[in-house]
A and B are shown apart, each in its own frame.
Chain A
């Protein structure tokens, strides 16, 4: 019997120095053994490299920025649906997820497009600003955090927590500050870029370990692969990493998925101290850009996500290969001006 063929829309085609997860997700989809795919790329800008990678992406469309709202996005998706009839969408940006979560029922009911996303409650609870309360609720250590709206508040909070502290933007950016002057400097820079409040977080010394996984929405972890970053860029992004054997971390992860009934993909970011304690730093409600390492280690979690969305009853992965590495690379593509013209003027390629 031949495999079913799905048309799947994927965002996050920005394979730049701080890459979106889209191309890794597409590679995993193309590696799937249980179905074939036609890939529809969803991009925000005409310079996103994935638009021009025709061996990975069959057809691409520009979509409106998340700030344009759900109605504008829905109209664009209705148009794309009229042409491509996608079976499923896999959104990969934190900033766009809220709109897709809000639209998921409409997409399925009116257009027959499936998604497999966390609930709005799950999405909101794991926000950086709510993470400490989230940790208390689910029995997970999270560094103490305060919300500063002014520079004075920021330095007072840093004194209360004790130096050094981590000064973080509500969406992005994190700096380690060892003095009140540094707190003021970073508060100023981060609030100008990302707005307030700025998070002042307890500094936990250790090394970062991350988990790429997927929950079935009923409390079961379908897949989970822990990874340590071996090489990190100036922006803190992994350029290389290796899978780990870490039973304690996997146990924490499974307990978290069970207690939250997490639905969909996730990336958990932890700091592991020298005393082998784990502090949860962040929950990303989507696949990370390094998710193709999970495929390399024996867990095609993206394929599992599609099967879950299609209503299949799937069994959890029971192992993965430890010591499997990924190393990222840059590449210069040669692109015809006509292609750039097409995506820039028509919004399609």
Chain B
């Protein structure tokens, strides 16, 4: 899971895709995950960080991360071609 090169996220959670001109607002948890992906974290590492920071069980974290990833994919914000 890798952010596309033209995608930028600000400190306030504003995401801008420079290739399409589309912009989005993400909530603090989304921003937390986004920054982990931006820094090259794997899915397993993202889940570990979520479990450490939030009181949530692993199956729920995995499912929510999967859903979030699908949304990012549909908006063409992440590159999953090498997975």
Chain A residues close to B by CB (< 8 Å): 207, 209, 227-228, 230, 241-242, 244-246, 322-323
Structural contact, A244 and B19, CB atoms closer than 8 A: yes
Chain B residues close to A by CB (< 8 Å): 6, 8, 16, 18-21
Chain B residue nearest in CB terms to A274: B76
A340 to B5 CA separation, bound complex (whole angstroms)? 54
Nearest CB in chain B: distance from A50 CB, A: 29
Which residues of the other chain, B, contact A242 by a CB distance below 8 angstroms? 21
A246 to B22 CA separation, bound complex (whole angstroms)? 13
Since A241-B21, A244-B18 are in contact, a sample of 6 more A-B pairs with Cβ atoms closer than 8 Å, ordered by chain A residue number, is A207-B20, A209-B21, A227-B21, A242-B21, A245-B18, A323-B8
Residue pairs across A and B with Cβ atoms less than 8 A apart, 21 shown, are A207-B20, A209-B21, A227-B21, A228-B20, A228-B21, A230-B21, A241-B21, A242-B21, A244-B18, A244-B19, A244-B20, A244-B21, A245-B6, A245-B18, A245-B19, A246-B19, A322-B6, A322-B18, A323-B8, A323-B16, A323-B18
Which residues of the other chain, A, contact B21 by a CB distance below 8 angstroms? 209, 227-228, 230, 241-242, 244
Most chain B CB atoms below 10 A, which of A207, A241, A322 = A322
Which residues of the other chain, A, contact B20 by a CB distance below 8 angstroms? 207, 228, 244
Nearest CB in chain A: distance from B23 CB, A: 8
A209 to B16 CA separation, bound complex (whole angstroms)? 16
Which residues of the other chain, B, contact A322 by a CB distance below 8 angstroms? 6, 18
A317 to B17 CA separation, bound complex (whole angstroms)? 23
Nearest CB in chain B: distance from A30 CB, A: 28
Nearest CB in chain B: distance from A206 CB, A: 11
Nearest CB in chain A: distance from B59 CB, A: 33
Which residues of the other chain, A, contact B18 by a CB distance below 8 angstroms? 244-245, 322-323
A323 to B18 CA separation, bound complex (whole angstroms)? 6
A40 to B19 CA separation, bound complex (whole angstroms)? 38
Chain A residue nearest in CB terms to B22: A228
A334 to B16 CA separation, bound complex (whole angstroms)? 40
A230 to B17 CA separation, bound complex (whole angstroms)? 13
Nearest CB in chain A: distance from B57 CB, A: 36
A89 to B45 CA separation, bound complex (whole angstroms)? 62
A245 to B20 CA separation, bound complex (whole angstroms)? 8
Which residues of the other chain, B, contact A245 by a CB distance below 8 angstroms? 6, 18-19
Nearest CB in chain A: distance from B81 CB, A: 13
Which residues of the other chain, B, contact A241 by a CB distance below 8 angstroms? 21
Nearest CB in chain A: distance from B3 CB, A: 14
A245 to B21 CA separation, bound complex (whole angstroms)? 8
Nearest CB in chain A: distance from B18 CB, A: 4
Which residues of the other chain, A, contact B19 by a CB distance below 8 angstroms? 244-246
A209 to B17 CA separation, bound complex (whole angstroms)? 14
A228 to B19 CA separation, bound complex (whole angstroms)? 9
Which residues of the other chain, B, contact A227 by a CB distance below 8 angstroms? 21
Chain A residue nearest in CB terms to B16: A323
Closest 9 CB pairs of A and B: A228-B21, A245-B18, A242-B21, A322-B18, A245-B6, A244-B21, A245-B19, A323-B16, A323-B18
A241 to B20 CA separation, bound complex (whole angstroms)? 11
A7 to B6 CA separation, bound complex (whole angstroms)? 42
